[in-house]
Amino acid sequence: MTGVEGMGTGDLLGTARGILAAGPICDHCLGRAFARLGHGLSNAQRGRALRVATVMLGGDVPRESGRCWICDELFDRVETWAQRALRAVEGIEFDSYLFGVRLPVRVRQMERFFDERFPTGQAEPLKHAFNRETGKVFERLAGHGTVDLTHPHLKFLLDIEAGTVDCHVLSLFVYGRYRKLVRGIPQTRWPCGRCGGRGCAACGFTGKQYPESVEELIAAPFLPAAGSAQAHLHGAGREDIDARMLGPGRPFVLEVEAPRIRRLNLQELGAAVNAGAAGKVEVDGLRFVPRETVAWIKEARGEKAYRARVAFEAEVAPSDLSEALAGLVGPIAQRTPVRVSHRRADLVRERRLLEAHGASLGPCEARLELRGEGGLYIKELISGDGGRTRPSLAERLGVGCRVLELDVVDVRLPESDA
């Protein structure tokens, strides 16, 4: 058989009669065998119509008593499973959902046998049909919500054999920009180096190397507001702990795990962040975004601008500084810096320094304004990192250089934010 297009009425009814004669079968499973026939009908309606048509055009209806030999009357329990799913998410806000099902081994075997014996070319998998019917009842019982195949707020897994309902509440994603106004705060929670985050005397049994982070300061008002236990900050790069993040701020996405409340007032939460982290961290431009924004934030290679106060090991004339900075603009080859080599692959990366300007603050000190591609290590661009970065300011000047203070003053991504 070639499906609906190549199946005449006689072939259709003959196949339906053969299916009915094979043993007790529910209307759902009978209709599933011809899922592409009868637009707008449910499988149950389709199956009932075929059952009646065999009487009208082909004689008596084959026996209907007994449990469906394919699904074991699974579709009779749709309402029960939908009710259990609704109880599992009591008190959780959602607008969308998606059901999945783990069928018993016997049912999977019977479905495979059925498909091989009656290859109509139009059958809908039992999983798909059951998930759809359960979702329809769930939506009716809940009084709201719609199925979403890509970004559902709730993902259910119904294990028929084990009799369990598992629900995964998908994360909530909030985009914004943050400014870090002080030095000495890491971007994300930093586990204690001695205990690995378990808690010890060295970290005061907090499990943290530093008492607070940008991530924790931003997440603080979000967690109780969303009824969540954990949140993660995904930044468009990161500044060093001893660097500030100024200007318009760094783009980030805050991922709030398993929120019980999704309808958050972001304006109020932004104000709460700024009040709670007063003088340390500020946020603005908060808005809800899809999960894909996290990948965009992490993968986008934009441009970053820096302001650095630099010390020289010997006196440097302003003219020599200007000449050295002009010679730095262009490609920079950087081997993974020594200070991060323990946690990053030892590679040589090429980035470009796009602009470089400086002003002397004294014979052995200067303030620099630099702009370069994302991923350019500024401290090493200045110091040379023992020859691992070339060219460097130290190499151009022939004088040892080190950064005293570093600020990130702008982060520009290649596309409009989020």
- In tens, the pLDDT along 232-257 reads 999 999 999 999 999 999 999 999 99
The pLDDT score that the predictor gives to residue 327 is 95
Q: What is the largest CA-CA distance in the chain?
A: 107
The answer to whether residue 222 is domain-embedded is yes
What is the average pLDDT across 43-54?
Answer: 90
- Expressed as residue numbers, the domain containing 28 is 4-169
Q: Give the domain CATH number at 259.
A: 3.30.70.2510
Between residues 61 and 29, which one has the greater pLDDT? 29
User: With contact defined as beta carbons under 8 Å apart, do 389 and 335 qualify?
Assistant: yes
**Judgement on whether residues 19 and 60 belong to the same structural domain of the protein:** yes
- In tens, the pLDDT along 402-414 reads 999 999 999 999 8
**Judgement on whether residues 148 and 177 belong to the same structural domain of the protein:** no
**Judgement on whether residues 185 and 147 belong to the same structural domain of the protein:** no
- Asked whether the predicted pLDDT for residue 343 surpasses 90, the reply is no
Q: Give the domain CATH number at 353.
A: 3.30.70.3190
**Judgement on whether residues 291 and 323 belong to the same structural domain of the protein:** no
The pLDDT score that the predictor gives to residue 9 is 60
Q: Which residues are catalytic?
A: 240
The answer to whether residue 13 is domain-embedded is yes
The pLDDT score that the predictor gives to residue 211 is 87
**Judgement on whether residues 311 and 377 belong to the same structural domain of the protein:** yes
User: With contact defined as beta carbons under 8 Å apart, do 282 and 334 qualify?
Assistant: no
The answer to whether residue 252 is domain-embedded is yes
The answer to whether residue 99 is domain-embedded is yes
The pTM assigned to this predicted structure is 0.88
**Judgement on whether residues 274 and 323 belong to the same structural domain of the protein:** no
Integer Cα distance of 66 and 48 in angstroms: 16
Write down which residue in 257, 280, 299 finishes a domain: 299
The answer to whether residue 268 is domain-embedded is yes
The pLDDT score that the predictor gives to residue 301 is 84
The pLDDT score that the predictor gives to residue 290 is 95
Distance of CA 148 to the CA centre of its chain: 16
Candidates 402, 413, 407, 404; CA nearest to 239 is: 407
- In tens, the pLDDT along 89-140 reads 999 999 999 999 999 999 999 999 999 999 988 999 999 999 999 999 999 9
Total domains, the chain: 3
Write down which residue in 169, 204, 239 finishes a domain: 169
The pLDDT score that the predictor gives to residue 60 is 57
User: With contact defined as beta carbons under 8 Å apart, do 376 and 334 qualify?
Assistant: yes
The answer to whether residue 418 is domain-embedded is no
The least confident of 19-33, 97-111, 164-178 is 19-33
Residue recorded with tokens 């809908």: 124
Residue recorded with tokens 């409009």: 416
User: With contact defined as beta carbons under 8 Å apart, do 190 and 208 qualify?
Assistant: yes
What is the average pLDDT across 182-197?
Answer: 88
**Judgement on whether residues 341 and 292 belong to the same structural domain of the protein:** no
The answer to whether residue 417 is domain-embedded is no
The pLDDT score that the predictor gives to residue 7 is 55
- In tens, the pLDDT along 266-318 reads 999 999 999 999 899 999 999 999 999 999 998 888 899 999 999 999 999 99
Write down which residue in 299, 320, 353 finishes a domain: 299
**Judgement on whether residues 316 and 345 belong to the same structural domain of the protein:** yes
**Judgement on whether residues 351 and 267 belong to the same structural domain of the protein:** no
Average pLDDT of every residue of the chain: 92
Q: Give the domain CATH number at 127.
A: 3.30.2300.10
- In tens, the pLDDT along 49-104 reads 988 888 776 655 554 567 999 999 999 999 999 999 999 999 999 999 999 999 99
**Judgement on whether residues 164 and 202 belong to the same structural domain of the protein:** no
The pLDDT score that the predictor gives to residue 75 is 97
**Judgement on whether residues 157 and 186 belong to the same structural domain of the protein:** no
The pLDDT score that the predictor gives to residue 100 is 98
CB count, 10 Å around CB of 235? 21
**Judgement on whether residues 286 and 186 belong to the same structural domain of the protein:** yes
3-state secondary structure of 117: helix
The answer to whether residue 273 is domain-embedded is yes
The least confident of 37-51, 169-183, 310-324, 378-392 is 37-51
3-state secondary structure of 218: helix
